[in-house]
Amino acid sequence: MTAPASQPSSRPFALPGGVGDPRVPLIQVSDLSRIYQVGDVQIPALRGVTLEIRRGEFVAVRGPSGSGKSTFMNLLGCLDRPSGGRYLLAGEDVSTYDSDRRAQVRNRFIGFVFQGFNLLPRTTALENVEVPLFYNGTPHGEREGKARAALAEVGLTDRGHHFPSQLSGGQQQRVAIARALVNQPALLLADEPTGNLDSRTSVDIMALFQRLNRERGLTLLLVTHEPEIAHYAHRITVFRDGRLVEDRPVSGVRDAARDLAAMPPDPHLDGLA
Ligand SMILES: Nc1ncnc2c1ncn2[C@@H]1O[C@H](COP(=O)(O)OP(=O)(O)OP(=O)(O)O)[C@@H](O)[C@H]1O
Ligand SMILES: [Mg+2]
């Protein structure tokens, strides 16, 4: 596999290595808004959201369809810029960054997982996981080892040479999680990661997220429509009409690994979606 032709510029950005001062919350947003312009029509998708997320938190994001959850995640993930308000990531005001600098922040600090996995279809699991390493100049000789380690972290050591079509839905999502983890991000954003998975596989993926949160201190934000999935997080936020309308700790956080052990075994294949 060859490196993509265009790579973002290597202009330095101000965020310190690692996650900076551990006393500063990882995410601080104040009065964040996003208005989409479609022709002459303005759509206020986010209308002034203020919240803080500390390092190591596991936060679920809920709310009806169209309430602004994905818009919010895209802003946190530096995929998009706010129309108003401020976003500090590890104390650094990234809302003012241009697209090159946002790309660097994404590559270095943020992992994404989506409902549809978004894997390259004609590319093996291992090569899919290597993709982010092309963009930050990881030497060729180090890429495979890092990708293998990330696949091992998600329990897919023996599937590196499979193509996505040769993997179950749960396994494809694990590859996508390995790809999101390969640059050791501080923040993992998951937008309905279990939306295409059966309930057993969903709990399996949640057990993986809980382990990454607990053992690596990974800060996690997870959009979900399913109330029982949200109860694997430590905190639940609820959006409605572009506003944050609820923000509360979860009492009695469920342990996904324990729930999985109590479920009947999959009669077919392990992790089949
Ligand atoms: N690129 C876009 N251009 C114009 N309008 C958009 C765009 N993306 C989202 N919207 C609108 O912004 C609002 C919020 O959308 P968003 O995708 O953030 O909702 P959501 O909470 O993620 O919904 P769902 O649960 O269905 O994924 C909706 O009214 C949507 O139609
Ligand atoms: Mg959405």
Question: What structural domains does the chain harbor?
Answer: 57-83+104-262 (3.40.50.300)
Q: What is the pLDDT of residue 265?
A: 78
Q: How many CB atoms lie within 10 A of CB 85?
A: 18
For atom 6 of ligand 1, the residue with the nearest CA is 36
Q: What is the pLDDT of residue 1?
A: 47
Give how far the C-alpha of residue 98 lies from the chain's centroid of Cα atoms, to the nearest Å: 21
Find the 68 Cα to ligand 2 centroid distance in Å.
7
Find the 258 Cα to ligand 2 centroid distance in Å.
29
Cα–Cα distance, 38 to 45 (Å, whole number) = 12
pLDDT tens digits for 42-85? 999 999 999 999 999 999 999 999 999 999 999 999 999 999 99
| CB-neighbour burial class of residue 188 (10 A; exposed 0-12, middle 13-18, buried 19+) | buried
Among the bound ligands, name the one nearest to the CA of residue 33. 1
pTM value is 0.91
Cα–Cα distance, 20 to 167 (Å, whole number) = 38
Cα–Cα distance, 68 to 66 (Å, whole number) = 6
Mean pLDDT rounded to a whole number for the chain = 90
Find the 72 Cα to ligand 1 centroid distance in Å.
10
CA 159-210-195 angle, to 5 degrees, is: 70
225 CA closest ligand 1 atom index: 25
Q: What is the pLDDT of residue 120?
A: 96
Find the 45 Cα to ligand 1 centroid distance in Å.
6
Q: Strand, coil or helix: what is 106?
A: helix
Q: Is 66 in the pocket of ligand 1 (CB under 6 A)?
A: yes
Among the bound ligands, name the one nearest to the CA of residue 65. 1
Q: What is the pLDDT of residue 18?
A: 56
Tell me the two tokens of residue 271. 């992790």
For atom 19 of ligand 1, the residue with the nearest CA is 66
Q: What is the pLDDT of residue 15?
A: 55
Spatial contact of 73 and 106, defined as CB atoms under 8 Å apart: no
- The candidate with the shortest Cα–Cα distance to 107, out of 142, 72, 127, 135, is 135
For atom 10 of ligand 1, the residue with the nearest CA is 45
For atom 31 of ligand 1, the residue with the nearest CA is 66
Among the bound ligands, name the one nearest to the CA of residue 64. 1
Find the 74 Cα to ligand 2 centroid distance in Å.
10
Mutate to test the pocket of ligand 1, among 62, 65, 71, 237 (most ligand atoms within 8 A of CB): 71
pLDDT tens digits for 90-100? 999 999 899 99
Where the chain has pLDDT below 70, the residues are: 1-19, 266-273
User: CB within 8 A of 27, min separation 6: which ones?
Assistant: 51, 52, 53, 76, 87, 88, 89, 187, 219
Q: What is the pLDDT of residue 5?
A: 43
Q: Is 71 in the pocket of ligand 1 (CB under 6 A)?
A: yes
Q: Is 224 in the pocket of ligand 1 (CB under 6 A)?
A: no
For atom 4 of ligand 1, the residue with the nearest CA is 36
Q: Is 34 in the pocket of ligand 1 (CB under 6 A)?
A: no
Q: What is the pLDDT of residue 67?
A: 98
